[in-house]
C-alpha cells in the first residue's frame, strides 16, 4: 500500500497532498491573493510559498494521521508553471526526500490534473478539456502518451478571465473567475464578442483586447454595467453567459470526441469548476450519447493530492527521478510524457478499441485519417452564438 506525498506550487496555489492506493488522505492548500486590479509576480508568489509550505506539510501529515516513516515516495511538480514558485517548492521536495531517505518523483502538472480527475470521477479513457490560468488544451490518450488535439494559440482561458478581472478591479479573493461568475448572475445585457476557432485551436487574446477596449468606453457612457460585461464573458444560470468563450472550448472538445469516437469527456483545471462550462459540456455530451465527468474546486484547482496521485501511479510503474535530474521546467507539455503510469489501472473500453490479447494497443484511428463522427448544430450554444458559428 504505497503512500505518496505530493507538493504542488506552480502558480499562486501551494498545496501538499497525501494519497494512498487511490484514497486522498489529506489535501491542504493556501492561495497567494493580491489586491484587486493586480496579478501575482513570480518572486512574490515564491516568497509566499516558502513562508507556508512547512506548515502545510505538517498539516497534511497530521490530517492523514501519518509520520515521515509512513511515506514511501515524495512527488513534486516539475513543470510547467512559473519559474520561481516551481523552484521554491522543488527545493523543499528534494530536501524532504533526502532527509527522510525516500525516492523522488518529478510530475508533469498537466498529467497530475488528468490523473486526479480520472481518480475522483472514475473516468476510464476520456477526451480531456484542460482549462486553467496557464493552460488550455484538448487532450486524449493513445499508445502510452497523452496527445494534444487542440489548444490556445495565445493566452489561456483562465488568463483571459484574470486579466479581464483586473480591468474591472474585481477582487482576487477567492479567485477572479469565481467572482466574475457571481457578478454575471446579475447581468442582463449580452455584449457580442469575437468567436475565434481556428481548426482545432482557439484564440482568446482578441476577445480580451475587444472587451478591454469596450469596457471603459461602454461603462463611461452608461451602455452597460460591470455585471453586463461579466455576463457577456461569463454566465447567468440557464441563460446566455460566457457563451462565446465556453462555446469555443466545447466545440473543439466535441470535434476531438467525434474524431476519436470517444464516449467520455473529462474537465480538469481551475476553470473546470465553472458551472456554466460544465452545463454546456453536459449538453454536448448528452447530444452525442456520451458521459461528462467533472469535479469541484477541491480537485479542479491546483492541489497537492493531484501531484501525489500522479506520483503514486509513476511509483507503481517503477519510475524514479534521480537527484541530478530533479530540476524544474517552465514549459513542459503533456505530450512527451510516456504515460506508463496509467498502466497500473487497466484502461477498459479504450476510446480507440480494446487491447488485443497480446497486450498491444490498437492503431489510432486518426493515424489512418479516419474520422469516426460528425458535429452538427448544438443546443449548448445560444441562438446568437449559433448563428455566428454557422456564418
pLDDT band at 215 (very low <50, low <70, confident <90, very high): confident
Q: What is the pLDDT of residues 314-372, one digit of tens each?
A: 999 999 999 999 999 987 766 555 554 444 344 433 333 332 233 333 333 333 333 33
Q: Whose CA is closest to 206, among 215, 195, 198, 217?
A: 195
The residue that leads in pLDDT, 194 or 201, is: 201
Please measure the distance between the N-terminal and C-terminal CA atoms of the chain and give it in whole angstroms. Answer: 56
**pTM for the model:** 0.86
Paired residues of 73 in beta bridges: 4
The grid coordinates listed for 123 are 473516468
Q: Give 186-248 as a DSSP string.
A: T--PPPP----EETTEE--HHHHHHHHHHHHHHHHHTS--HHHHHHHHS-BTTB-SSHHHHHH
- d(CA 339, CA 341) in angstroms, rounded, equals 5
Cis peptide before 80 (omega within 30 of 0): yes
Q: What is the pLDDT of residues 14-51, one digit of tens each?
A: 999 999 999 999 999 999 999 999 999 999 999 999 99
The grid coordinates listed for 60 are 497534511
Burial of 42 (0-12, 13-18, 19+ CB in 10 A): middle
Residue in the structure block whose three cell numbers are 484587486:
36
Amino acid at each position: 500500500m504505497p503512500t505518496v506525498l505530493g507538493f504542488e506550487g506552480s502558480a499562486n496555489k501551494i498545496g501538499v497532498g497525501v494519497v494512498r492506493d487511490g484514497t486522498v488522505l489529506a489535501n491542504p492548500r493556501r492561495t497567494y491573493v493580491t489586491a484587486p486590479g493586480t496579478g501575482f509576480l513570480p518572486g512574490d508568489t515564491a516568497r509566499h510559498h516558502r513562508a507556508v509550505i512547512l506548515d502545510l506539510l505538517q498539516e497534511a501529515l497530521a490530517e492523514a494521521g501519518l509520520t515521515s516513516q509512513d511515506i514511501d515516495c515524495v512527488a513534486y511538480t516539475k513543470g510547467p508553471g512559473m519559474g520561481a514558485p516551481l523552484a521554491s517548492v522543488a527545493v523543499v521536495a528534494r530536501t524532504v526526500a533526502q532527509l527522510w531517505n525516500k525516492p523522488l518523483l518529478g510530475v508533469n502538472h498537466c498529467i497530475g490534473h488528468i490523473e486526479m480527475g480520472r481518480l475522483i470521477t472514475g473516468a476510464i479513457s476520456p477526451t480531456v478539456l484542460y482549462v486553467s490560468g496557464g493552460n488550455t488544451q484538448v487532450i486524449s490518450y493513445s499508445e502510452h502518451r497523452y496527445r494534444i488535439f487542440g489548444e490556445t494559440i495565445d493566452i489561456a482561458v483562465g488568463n483571459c478571465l484574470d486579466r479581464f478581472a483586473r480591468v474591472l478591479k474585481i477582487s482576487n479573493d477567492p479567485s477572479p473567475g469565481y467572482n466574475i461568475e457571481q457578478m454575471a448572475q446579475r447581468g442582463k445585457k449580452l455584449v457580442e464578442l469575437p468567436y475565434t476557432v481556428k481548426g482545432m485551436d482557439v484564440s482568446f487574446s482578441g476577445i480580451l483586447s475587444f472587451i478591454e477596449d469596450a469596457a471603459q468606453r461602454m461603462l463611461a457612457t452608461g451602455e452597460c454595467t460591470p455585471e453586463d460585461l461579466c455576463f457577456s464573458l461569463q454566465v447567468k444560470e440557464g441563460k446566455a453567459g460566457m457563451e462565446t468563450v465556453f462555446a469555443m472550448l466545447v466545440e473543439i472538445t466535441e470535434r476531438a470526441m467525434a474524431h476519436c469516437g470517444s464516449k467520455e469527456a473529462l474537465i480538469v483545471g481551475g476553470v473546470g469548476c465553472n458551472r456554466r462550462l460544465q452545463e454546456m459540456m453536459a449538453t454536448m455530451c448528452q447530444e452525442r450519447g456520451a458521459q461528462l465527468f467533472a469535479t469541484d474546486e477541491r480537485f479542479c484547482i491546483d492541489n497537492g493530492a493531484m501531484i501525489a496521485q500522479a506520483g503514486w501511479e509513476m511509483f507503481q510503474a517503477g519510475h524514479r527521478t534521480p537527484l541530478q535530474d530533479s530540476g524544474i521546467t517552465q514549459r513542459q507539455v503533456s505530450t512527451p510524457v510516456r504515460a506508463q503510469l496509467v498502466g497500473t489501472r487497466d484502461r477498459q473500453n479504450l476510446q480507440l478499441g480494446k487491447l488485443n490479447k497480446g497486450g498491444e494497443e490498437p492503431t489510432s484511428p486518426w493515424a489512418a485519417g479516419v474520422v469516426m463522427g460528425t458535429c452538427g448544430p448544438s443546443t449548448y450554444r445560444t441562438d446568437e452564438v449559433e448563428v455566428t458559428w454557422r456564418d
